Amino acid sequence: MRALRLGLNVDHVATLRNARGGLHPDPVAAAELAIACGVDGITAHLREDRRHIRDADLRRLRALPAPLNMEMAATEEMVAIACALRPHAACLVPERRAEVTTEGGLDAAGQSEALRPAIARLSAAGIRVSLFVDPDPAQLAAAAALGAPVVELHTGAYANGRAGERERLAAAARHAASLGLECHAGHGLNFDNVGPIAALPGVRELNIGHFLIGQAVFDGLGPVLARMRALMDAAREGGH
C-alpha cells in the first residue's frame, strides 16, 4: 500500500449529470477511469437532498475494484444505508442543506454523544470510520475518545490562504499520530497548494474532488490524476 494515497471524489461528475437530468456524465464511469489510471480510492458523498450522488450511484461504486469512502452525515438514514452497503470507509461530515460544500469540520467534541452510536454501528458493520474535523486538538482528542480509527483534517482554511494554517495542520497530523489516529486530509486542494500538505509525514491519504474534476475539462482525467500523483510524490520525497 502506498505511503500517501489519493482518493478521487466523484461528486461533481454527478453534479454535472444532474444539471440535465440524464445519465451523462456518469460518476461511476469516471471512477472506473480513475481506477484504471491508478487512483487509490473513490470518495462519494451521499447528501440528504441527493443533490449530486444518488443511492444507485453508490451501489455501483461499491462494486468497483477500489476502496469506496462514503462521506455522510451521521443521521439514522445514512447510517442504515452505509451498514447495508458496507463501503470500505465512512467519513462522517457535518451537513447543512443550504451549504454549497462542507464548510467546516464536524464538532466531534460538542456532539460526541450523538456521534457515539453512529460510530459504533458503522464499526460493527466492518466499516472504517473517519471523522472530518478541523485541525484542532480538542477535536482530535474527541475523535480518539469516540474510538474512530481515522480523522480527515479539513484543509479548507489552508486552501483559502489563512495564515498559520499549514502549521496548524502539521501540528494536528503529529497530534493525531500521538493519539493513534490515522490521518487523512482534504478540501480545496489543487496543483498549487497540495505540496505542503502531501509533505506532512503523518498524512496517509488525500481526498480531492472539485479541482480534479474541473481541471479534467481542460486536460482529461488521466493526465490530471497523473500530475496530482507526481506532485504528491515529489512533495513526499522532498519533504517540504
Is 12 annotated as catalytic? no
With binding defined as CB under 6 A, does residue 208 bind ligand PXP?
yes
With binding defined as CB under 6 A, does residue 189 bind ligand PXP?
yes
Q: How far apart are CA 55 and CA 42, in angstroms?
A: 15
With binding defined as CB under 6 A, does residue 139 bind ligand PXP?
no
Q: How far apart are CA 154 and CA 171, in angstroms?
A: 13
Is 88 annotated as catalytic? no
Nearer to ligand PXP, 106 or 199 (CB): 106
DSSP codes of every residue in 139-162: HHHHHHHHT-SEEEEE-HHHHTT-
Site residues for ligand PXP, window 53-72 (CB under 6 A)? Answer: 71
With binding defined as CB under 6 A, does residue 152 bind ligand PXP?
yes
- From the list 142, 203, 148, the residue with the least C-alpha distance to 174 is 203
Cell 470507509 sits at which residue?
89
Taking each helix axis from N to C end, the angle separating 112-124 and 137-146, rounded to the nearest 10 degrees, works out to: 50
Nearer to ligand PXP, 102 or 139 (CB): 102
Give backbone dihedrals phi and psi of 232, rounded to 5 degrees, phi first.
-65, -45
Q: Check: CB of residue 148 under 8 Å from CB of residue 112.
A: no
Q: Reduce the DSSP state of residue 26 to 3 states and report it.
A: coil
> Residues 12, 52, 71, 205: which is the catalytic one?
71
- What is the nearest approach in angstroms of ligand PXP to the Cβ of residue 75? 15
Nearer to ligand PXP, 77 or 237 (CB): 77
Among 61, 85, 91, 199, binds ligand PXP (CB under 6 A): 91
The set of catalytic residues is 45, 71, 187
Write out the residues near ligand PXP by the rule CB under 6 A: 9, 11, 45, 71, 91, 93, 101-102, 132, 152, 186-189, 207-211
